[in-house]
A and B are shown apart, each in its own frame.
Chain A
């Protein structure tokens, strides 16, 4: 593993090496398994303008540092990045395209990334996007980076939009009797005017709905969510509320010896997906648009790939060993291939294992 500390050093490395696969904090082992370059020392906040709602930081900066900094000014990253305590970095989060439960309200990582400095496969350093919250000039390379697992370029510097943090939050926990009922409650809450910050369901069909805002309003709104859902449930506030989502963000529900998988779904796929999983631990998130699965490491990766394929769900494996982290309904199309040809013509960033390795 080679550690780089500057963009220039990284560009030089890309120019001189045949293959460059990057790791950040190493929290998503399936995506950084073949890494030969680490960005964990390319770290630090370069600019933070609370009044502009923006900050720029090096790609290897840990989310924990960003989180602490933003909190000090009562701001936050509304896409709710996961694995903060585990040590995930900004670059790794963008490359893996990961947003947390809180992305329900204002959008995911793609919606808050404004600019990216990156090194292409030809070793060029380009500054793309912008540092202001609104920009329609030129091609949107920052968005292309989201979820790309580094196949088009290596990000070295990132600019994000942030929002003022809500004053207070509360979580409504609803027990449901069967899956169909849970899905119905979830669907109706997701499109309600209650403006939920999070809407998840765990493996025991318990629904977790979160409201955020001004303290006195939050209490009233939590009561309303409870009423709308039939009145049976409990409300968590303050530390209990915070602990709940922290545990969720760090995936503490994933048992040992299991790999974490992100599966893209729509609400009508919840039931078929759960039926196909046969009692494996899962968490449905973002009002039924995202499922997190825990897949036993000893079970065949092909088996899950096939299940997801059959359901028409694209997915990305985050932990464990997989022939490719992209599983399920994922096919590289000709548009993607042409973008690779322009950004990385020599396939230096390819995810496939090099021959003979």
Chain B
């Protein structure tokens, strides 16, 4: 774009926003240069702090008119660089677009704006003993808009699915400023599932302005068990045994020794420090049902060679156990100045093999890897520890991370269970899918957004040179507010 036209664009933008909500100076936009994937950094031309859906639409239309790329951003917790700014582009910051628009407890639905915080949904619905199931570990700060764009998961995906399974309808602005409604207020739909197609499209199809979510009745009772094992494979085998027993726990999580060590140092949840692996299993449901399931679970865990079993006796103990798990990632920052986290998926029956392979790679690259994973759905979260100050270690760590992704593909799994492709895994998507699939995705993208303005450079484009970046903990992570699971 020539200088005159750029100037014209900036003038137009300044007519849409008062000075306090249009950030353009280097210091003002600095905090928007990066997201949860701190290794990547880029400076946007401007950041607009929108307060209404109309402002989003007006900004998108202006960007479309002038051919300026834009990125929507909520709390900036993406772990795949999903809200990384585009140099010369606009960041549309949605945090202030955070109103609750409608709440229908008797329908089990709630309508919110994209800047609404994930955990606030459940907090609001708690008055009617309802909750919102998807629970990414960044739940206290991440927003529904970002959850929608990246199809966020959490610890309960095997039983309850991901974000896409809980979004019923949306009002969205397409990359050219057209506003359309997808889905509706019902659990059912007639016609193609456009809502499902939009969720997880990583911002390539535009920006959600209103989102209708499904709420579920809160489980009446929880039963949370922490089992400790002297080898990690035993913990993995225990998962297989639970599955074979016919039980369907709400969550099954595994942490290895290094992850336990980090977590204990940070939050003192009382995990057995010497354990090679711990398994966290949670049953949930109506009082009578959980009561009937407990002896079955006890039997399975008893046969799984756990050397120690703890059962949360009350809600406080339960929350402590969960805190140990959910804070594990931020805690790893205590063990290492830098780390990379991956979230590939393998078939659950190949978990043991996958862990062996990760251990082998860890030895080969001489880098420590801590493992925390959603064992119920085979979603790994290897944390590769390195020190960016040591020459060449970052590259080694990235290579190791890449090897893990390739293993996931080889095992018939997926390169991402919940973090998305973003800029981080853009080179790996064509390894998971074939040429025809990639062509089709690009064709769809171009059909919806011929100028490729919406979140350019995420999911589908070849990443630019990856230089000068470091995987340091996000400031919120250092503060223990968010974590990367």
B-binding residues in A (CB < 8 A): 49, 51-53, 74, 97, 99, 103-104, 106-108, 110-111, 120, 124-128, 130-141, 143-149, 151-152, 163-165, 167, 187-188, 190-195, 213-214, 216-217, 220-221, 224, 262-268, 286-290, 314-316, 326, 328, 330, 333-336, 338-339, 341-343
Assuming A147-B191, A334-B178, is B441 touching A138 (CB within 8 A)?
A: yes
**Closest-CB distance, B18 to chain A (whole angstroms):** 32
Pull 6 A–B residue pairs with CB atoms less than 8 Å apart, ordered by A.
A53-B348, A195-B285, A224-B286, A264-B184, A266-B185, A342-B440
Chain A residues, Cβ within 8 Å of B205: 335
Complex-state Cα separation, A137 to B188, whole angstroms? 25
Contact B243 A130 (CB under 8 A): no
Complex-state Cα separation, A216 to B174, whole angstroms? 52
**Closest-CB distance, B463 to chain A (whole angstroms):** 16
Chain A residues, Cβ within 8 Å of B1: none
Contact B192 A220 (CB under 8 A): no
Chain B residues, Cβ within 8 Å of A165: 246
Chain A residues, Cβ within 8 Å of B104: 266
Judge whether B301 is part of the interface by a CB distance below 8 angstroms.
no
Complex-state Cα separation, A225 to B201, whole angstroms? 41
Complex-state Cα separation, A49 to B128, whole angstroms? 39
Judge whether B200 is part of the interface by a CB distance below 8 angstroms.
yes
Judge whether B407 is part of the interface by a CB distance below 8 angstroms.
no
Chain B residues, Cβ within 8 Å of A103: 187
Chain A residues, Cβ within 8 Å of B377: 132-134
Beta-carbon nearest neighbor of B157 in chain A: A134
Contact B187 A286 (CB under 8 A): yes
Assuming A191-B217, A214-B293, is B191 touching A314 (CB within 8 A)?
A: yes
Contact A97 B193 (CB under 8 A): yes
Beta-carbon nearest neighbor of A312 in chain B: B184
Contact of B345 among A135, A145, A148 (CB under 8 A): A135
Interface pick from B38-46, B58-66, B362-370, B428-436: B428-436
Contact A152 B192 (CB under 8 A): yes
Chain A residues, Cβ within 8 Å of B302: none
Judge whether B326 is part of the interface by a CB distance below 8 angstroms.
no
Complex-state Cα separation, A144 to B447, whole angstroms? 16
Judge whether B337 is part of the interface by a CB distance below 8 angstroms.
no
**Closest-CB distance, B149 to chain A (whole angstroms):** 11
Contact A139 B201 (CB under 8 A): yes
Complex-state Cα separation, A130 to B162, whole angstroms? 14
Beyond the given pairs A266-B185, A341-B447, 15 more chain A to chain B contacts, judged by CB atoms under 8 angstroms and listed by A's residue number, are A49-B349, A106-B159, A132-B378, A134-B158, A134-B379, A136-B152, A138-B433, A139-B441, A140-B196, A146-B192, A147-B193, A213-B292, A289-B107, A314-B189, A333-B181
Contact A220 B288 (CB under 8 A): yes
**Closest-CB distance, A77 to chain B (whole angstroms):** 14
**Closest-CB distance, A319 to chain B (whole angstroms):** 15
Chain B residues, Cβ within 8 Å of A149: 192
Complex-state Cα separation, A214 to B157, whole angstroms? 22
Interface pick from B9-17, B21-29, B391-399, B418-426: B418-426
Contact B184 A314 (CB under 8 A): yes
Judge whether B3 is part of the interface by a CB distance below 8 angstroms.
no
Contact B248 A136 (CB under 8 A): no
Contact A135 B416 (CB under 8 A): yes
Chain B contacts with A in 349-405, Cβ cutoff 8 A: 349, 374, 377-379
Chain B residues, Cβ within 8 Å of A133: 157-158, 345, 348, 377-378
**Closest-CB distance, A154 to chain B (whole angstroms):** 14
Complex-state Cα separation, A151 to B188, whole angstroms? 19
Contact B440 A343 (CB under 8 A): yes
Encode B78-121 as 1/0 by CB contact (under 8 A) with A.
00000000000000000000000000111111000000000000
Assuming A134-B378, A136-B416, A137-B414, is B291 touching A217 (CB within 8 A)?
A: yes
Complex-state Cα separation, A124 to B442, whole angstroms? 14
Judge whether B54 is part of the interface by a CB distance below 8 angstroms.
no
Contact B165 A111 (CB under 8 A): yes
Assuming A134-B379, A326-B190, A339-B448, is B286 touching A195 (CB within 8 A)?
A: yes
Judge whether B476 is part of the interface by a CB distance below 8 angstroms.
no
Chain A residues, Cβ within 8 Å of B418: 134, 136
Encode B216-257 as 1/0 by CB contact (under 8 A) with A.
011110000000000000000000100110111000000000
Contact B188 A264 (CB under 8 A): yes
Contact of B437 among A127, A217, A220 (CB under 8 A): A127
**Closest-CB distance, B36 to chain A (whole angstroms):** 15
Assuming A266-B107, A335-B174, is B243 touching A51 (CB within 8 A)?
A: yes
**Closest-CB distance, A37 to chain B (whole angstroms):** 20
Best-surrounded residue of B107, B418, B436, B448 (most CB of chain A within 10 A): B107
Best-surrounded residue of B178, B217, B240 (most CB of chain A within 10 A): B217
Contact B443 A342 (CB under 8 A): yes
Contact B429 A138 (CB under 8 A): yes
